[in-house]
Amino acid sequence: MLGNKAYNQSGHLEIAGCDVVNLASEMGTPLYIFDEELLRKAMAAYRNGLAQVVPESTVAYAGKAFLCSALCGLIEQEGLWLDAVSGGEYYLALVSGFPTTRIIFHGNNKMREEREMVLAEGVGRWVVDGEEELDTLLEEAPSYRHGKMPVYFRITPGVDPHTHEFITTGKVDSKFGFPLMEGIASRALQKAVDSGLVDVMGIHCHIGSQIDSLEPFEQTVKVMVDFMADFRDRTGFVLTELDMGGGLGVPYLDADLGRFPSIDDYCRGLGAQLRSQCERRSFPLPRMVIEPGRSIVNTAGSTLYRVGTVKNIPGVKRYIAVDGGMTDNPRPVLYGAKYQAVLGVRTTDREAHEYTVVGKCCESGDIIINECSLPSVKSGDLLLVEGTGAYNHSMASNYNMIPRPGVVFSREGKALMVERPESWYDLVRRDVIPEAFSTRAGANCDIEGGKR
């Protein structure tokens, strides 16, 4: 099993001391469960690991992996920054009281409403993603009310991290960032420096996600330091910060344990490479910034489902249908991602079978696990899918009008609900029914009447 889980004396699975049978009856299923201790440990491992190799360093958690107000509080307590990529993520952090001076604001198409909010409320670093955006920013920056706007420039370093095509972002052909070719990136930086309107702090890159070796990161550090040193040589301007983005991969299956660099290895590897590349180019060691997402939250999170139907097609396949599916975990259908599952209650007397775990969506591709071996599963059993902390909650949808699961943080036998499950009422609360489309008199003001 991934993370810290074990069966207790009654044979019930426990996550951080919380019995999943109790969790299911108190909080309902499906349910995202996070082990708070594991979240904190991963954050601390990054914070301490990086500070040991590069004393001036910042760890900004990438909110796109999973975000809610309680997590903002936890990030703040652990001394991390937040990488926000949209007005929505920024807004969530803002209303949860997270200091905006610790937000790195991203986006390849920052909309007017988003820009206005950030200009009004403040930001730690604004990441300029393209030439048009730079022109707009230089027009709008004078209205920034918190001193000079501190900015990074996102560069596409042209490194292929050999991960899934959809989560590769640093190649030359990318919708993100400034290409290095033909001096495009360097000219943009020069323009910003010359304008005197923003504080050009450094450069940013993100080469991809779920990366299983340090080599592409190290290669990227070299490209980025070369760029910084060349820029200094040409202009005399010294960039003082380097943001390497996120991307460290994690095991999703027991079989993959040990195949990925640890957080410590990653920090040590990146730090050592930064030092040696800076030495080679006689460049002053910049502040190193990283933006890990998946490697902080994935292993800490699991999804608890209740099995509904079990279908046996003799000689062909056994299906287990759970009460969620691609709506709460679209990664198998999007990326062919693999997961593993365990039963909520240990059984020793049932014969094991090969199963395909599917959801309840009207879609044959709604598969969570293609093949897994489990002791004979019955309707009503609890099934825990492991390693679902990243890009599940944040990518969930309401396809087929299926409500999204709630979220709990568990620690030392206590579970705190941090996001309540969606209700059917939540699904219709934004509906507006003009008179002309009303199927019965007064329906437009009666949605709440049928609340469930």
Binding site for ligand LLP (CB under 6 A): 62, 64-65, 83, 106, 167, 169, 206, 209-210, 245-248, 291-295, 331, 335, 390-391
| Cβ 299 to ligand LLP shortest distance, Å | 12
Q: Of 126 and 283, which has the nearer Cβ to ligand LLP?
A: 126
What are 24's two structure tokens?
A: 């299911």
Q: Is 72 helix (H, G, I), strand (E, B) or coil?
A: helix
Helix (H, G, I), strand (E, B) or coil at 176: coil
Alpha helices in 54-203, H assignment, sequence order: 69-77, 87-95, 112-121, 131-140, 184-195
Least distance between ligand LLP and beta carbon 354 (Å) = 26
* Pairing label, strands 57-62, 414-419: unpaired
Nearer residue to ligand LLP within complex by CB, 106 or 360: 106
- Candidates 258, 165, 268; CA nearest to 209 is 165
- Annotated active-site residue in 278, 362, 372, 445: 362
Active site residue 372: no
Q: What does the CA dihedral 26, 29, 34, 36 come to, rounded to 10 degrees? A: 0
| Closest alpha carbon to 85 in 108, 102, 107 | 107
How long is the chain? 452
* Diameter over CA atoms, the chain: 77
Smallest distance from ligand LLP to CB 205, Å: 8
Nearest approach in angstroms of CB 429 to ligand LLP is 27
Q: Please, which residue, 65 or 192, has the CB nearer to ligand LLP? A: 65
Cβ 391 to ligand LLP shortest distance, Å: 3
CA distance 242 to 198: 17
Q: How far apart are CA 257 and CA 259, in angstroms?
A: 6
The residues that are catalytic are: 362
